[in-house]
Amino acid sequence: MTKIVFMGTPTFSVPILEGLLESGYEVLAVVTQPDRPVGRKHTITPPPVKVAALKHDLLVLQPEKISGSLEMAKIAELAPDLIITAAFGQFLPEKLLQIPRLGAINVHASLLPKYRGGAPVHYAIMNGDDKTGVTIMEMIKKMDAGAIYKQAEIPITKNDDVGTMFEKLSLLGKELLLDTLPDLITGNVTKIPQKEDEVTFSPNITREQEMIDWQKTAEAIDNHVRGLRPWPIAFTTYEGVRWKIWNVTPLNETTKEIPGTIIKKDKSQLWVACGANSVLALNELQPAGKGKQTITAFLNGVGQKVMQGDKLGE
């Protein structure tokens, strides 16, 4: 039986771990990020993969930094045949990659060589891509640069956001990994080098990237909002106060107003001028210090002071 050390952290990783267990692979240990404070009360919360691993009485290792750690020494002691990672969240040192006789492989949520890095799903949606996918790849010292074992595509619809795509890609990744493993274990899989001239990157989202640029078209802003939902969430400002923007709709309307101008306001609608004379309706938002609200609840509450002609993003 092939002995595996699994490394993953968020909800994306859980179906992949569960798939390995359901298929009879021996998981010697699960390596995940340390418990972290979550929410306004900073409640110390275990990562989803830890919760899943403990349900199966698996050994859980949680190094703050894997390189040179006691947990890395423990992995060497376990002598796995294979390391499998899925959104683990840390670089793996070369010494660790050399431990398993079958090497280390990664379930990456993009069609490599497009979108190497930590936020491939965010960038695919923000850039308006109509498809993305999963790559099963060899892990090497350079980030996401190893040879490709297998890939599978999936469409991105106009209703998708990061949350829905992670759910779809996790299940797709599980299926693709389980399809790849038998051939990889028997040495019957072909590795395809990545085309370096086609490489693009998807670094982690910065605070500045979360801000809505009203000079962009309504469609591009819709992509931006969905590409940052359910985290970290796009925002704009009104009179210096931050509004998180959860849901918007590009409208089949035009305007000559300056981008960022509120061009229509009644008890249930708030329309904003965008770039290229396009118009966007705000559907859900979250004013600073408040919970997420429908636009109707907002306009009949704290949003009553908002007036047509006011500017967002200033």
**Chain centroid offset of residue 303 CA:** 31
Measured CA to CA, the distance from residue 41 to residue 52 in angstroms comes to 24
58 is in an annotated binding site: no
Measured CA to CA, the distance from residue 51 to residue 63 in angstroms comes to 16
Query: Cβ neighbours of residue 135 under 8 Å, at least 6 residues apart?
Result: 107, 108, 110, 111, 112, 148, 150, 151
φ, ψ (nearest 5 deg) of residue 134: -130, 140
φ, ψ (nearest 5 deg) of residue 16: -70, -45
13 is in an annotated binding site: no
| Number of Cα atoms under 13 Å in the Cβ half of residue 232 | 12
Say if residue 22 is exposed, middle or buried (CB neighbours under 10 Å; 0-12, 13-18, 19+): exposed
113 is in an annotated binding site: yes
178 is in an annotated binding site: no
Binding-site residues for (6S)-5,6,7,8-tetrahydrofolate, in ranges, read: 110-113
Binding-site residues, in ranges, read: 110-113
